[in-house]
Copies of this chain bind each other. A is one copy, B any other.
């Protein structure tokens, strides 16, 4: 997505730009592998095959497997961050927006959410990754802060959002945004 630290948007194509594109292609392929086979299925070889490149090219861009997983987790967290920020910045019922975002977990967003969760579990063992994994919660908290002043209420909604996602992933059924909103609303207002 972004250019590497090499130069500043001087070349839109060419060596450096292609390198940056490759990099994001590899991250995308990594997420596809995580989606299909889980984090355990991520190897330089499987990622390379998924991306249609050679194995050594994967190691060229991400020296160690860990580098690759960290980059993938960061990337997926960025997507969620953007979604939440969009809800915050959009006028209207923010709670409904949050409920719909959570409901997405059951549909199109299921695989992404699964990948995100799988990678977040990895984060528990890597202190360097914790801030990234925490971002989702902090963003939800920020959203809640626009709706109430009660810190306990904020904590409750953040925890409930997380738990609802888990429930949806485990139940594997369709999620009713209206119901989700009701639970969140109840957690928010006394």
A contacts, CB < 8 Å to B: 38-40, 114, 117-118, 121-125, 130, 133-134, 137, 152-153, 155-156, 158-164, 166-167, 169-172, 179, 182-183, 186-187, 190
Query: What are some 9 contacts across the A-B interface (CB < 8 A)?
Result: A124-B169, A124-B170, A134-B171, A152-B179, A156-B183, A156-B186, A159-B183, A161-B163, A166-B166
Report chain B residues within 8 Å CB of A162: 159, 162-163, 166-167
**Contact in complex: B153, A159 (CB < 8 Å):** no
Oligomer copy total: 2
Q: Max chain B CB contacts within 10 Å: which of A125, A161, A167?
A: A125
**Contact in complex: A182, B152 (CB < 8 Å):** yes
Q: Give bound CA distance, A179 to B155, whole Å.
A: 10
Q: Give bound CA distance, A190 to B117, whole Å.
A: 31
**Contact in complex: B187, A160 (CB < 8 Å):** yes
**Contact in complex: B167, A156 (CB < 8 Å):** no
Q: Majority SS of interface residues in chain A?
A: helix
Least CB distance from A48 to B in Å reads 20
Q: Give bound CA distance, A187 to B160, whole Å.
A: 9
Q: Which residue of B lies closest to A161 (CB)?
A: B163
**Contact in complex: B170, A159 (CB < 8 Å):** no
**Contact in complex: B117, A152 (CB < 8 Å):** no
From B40, B130, B163, give the contact of A40 (CB < 8 A).
B40
Q: Give bound CA distance, A40 to B126, whole Å.
A: 13
Q: Max chain B CB contacts within 10 Å: which of A159, A167, A172, A186?
A: A159
From B130, B159, B179, give the contact of A163 (CB < 8 A).
B159
Least CB distance from A103 to B in Å reads 14
Q: Give bound CA distance, A156 to B190, whole Å.
A: 13
Q: Give bound CA distance, A179 to B158, whole Å.
A: 14
Report chain B residues within 8 Å CB of A114: 124-125
